[in-house]
C-alpha cells in the first residue's frame, strides 16, 4: 500500500489567498442553489467572491446584466468575446469556463477549442469576426480605438447600443482575468469535460 496522499484536485483550493467565506445571506444561498440546480455545481469564481457579500453581489449583478440580460448580442457572441479577451490575457480560469460555454452554446467543440487557442483560426461570419477584432483591439491597444473601429461594427449590423455591450463585456473580462490571475483562481474541473 502506498502511503502517499491522494492527488489533490486541480480546482482546490479555489484561490491562493486565505480569505474565509462570509456567512451566506439568504439571497446568496438562493443564488448558489440555483447554480446547483441548473449546472450541478457552484462556479469557483462565485465561491472566490464569497468572502465579501457586497463584492459578490456587485460581481454577480454585473455578470448577469452583461452576459444574460437582453442584448443585441447573442449569448454565444458574448461568450466568444469572453474567450477572445481571456485568450489574449491567458486567463486559465476564464478560458476553461467560457470555452466550455462556447462549446455548449454553439454545439461545436471545435469552435470552442479554436476560440481558446486563436479565434482567427475559426471560420467566423463577418459580424463575429468584427466583434472579436474590436474586443481584442480594445484589450491590447485601447488607446488606438477610433471611429473607424466603431464604423466597422456598424457596417456588420451592430447598433451603437450593441457597440456599448461589446465594450462592456470586453472590459468586464479584462477585469475578471486580472482578478483570476492575481489570485490563481482555479476553474471547476467539471468545465473541462463539458460539451465535448
Segment-wise mean pLDDT, segments of 10 residues, the chain, 196 residues: 70 96 96 96 97 97 98 98 98 97 96 95 97 98 98 98 98 98 97 92
CB atoms within 10 A of CB 47: 20
Residue ranges in 8-91 assigned as alpha helix (H): 26-39, 44-49, 53-67, 75-89
**C-alpha cell belonging to residue 79:** 461568450
Residue whose C-alpha is closest to residue 130's, from 91, 94, 161, 163: 163
Amino acid 4: pLDDT: 72
Element containing residue 148 per DSSP (H, E): helix 147-155
Residue whose C-alpha is closest to residue 137's, from 108, 110, 174, 165: 174
Amino acid 8: pLDDT: 73
CB atoms within 10 A of CB 182: 11
Amino acid at each position: 500500500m502506498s502511503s502517499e496522499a491522494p492527488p489533490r484536485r486541480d480546482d482546490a483550493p479555489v484561490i491562493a489567498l486565505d480569505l474565509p467565506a462570509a456567512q451566506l445571506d439568504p439571497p446568496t444561498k438562493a443564488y448558489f442553489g440555483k447554480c446547483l440546480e441548473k449546472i450541478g455545481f457552484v462556479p469557483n469564481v462565485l465561491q472566490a467572491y464569497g468572502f465579501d457579500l457586497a463584492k459578490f453581489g456587485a460581481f454577480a449583478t454585473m455578470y448577469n446584466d452583461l452576459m444574460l440580460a437582453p442584448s443585441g448580442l447573442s449569448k454565444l457572441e458574448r461568450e466568444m468575446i469572453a474567450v477572445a479577451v481571456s485568450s489574449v490575457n491567458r486567463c486559465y480560469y476564464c478560458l476553461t469556463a467560457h470555452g466550455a460555454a462556447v462549446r455548449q452554446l454553439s454545439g461545436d467543440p471545435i469552435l470552442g477549442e479554436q476560440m481558446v487557442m486563436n479565434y482567427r483560426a475559426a471560420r467566423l461570419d463577418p459580424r463575429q469576426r468584427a466583434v472579436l477584432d474590436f474586443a481584442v483591439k480594445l484589450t491590447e491597444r485601447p488607446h488606438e480605438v477610433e471611429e473607424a473601429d466603431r464604423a466597422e461594427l456598424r457596417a456588420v449590423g451592430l447598433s451603437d447600443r450593441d457597440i456599448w455591450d461589446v465594450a462592456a463585456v470586453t472590459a468586464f473580462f479584462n477585469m475578471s482575468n486580472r482578478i483570476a490571475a492575481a489570485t490563481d483562481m482555479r476553474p471547476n474541473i467539471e468545465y473541462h469535460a463539458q460539451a465535448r
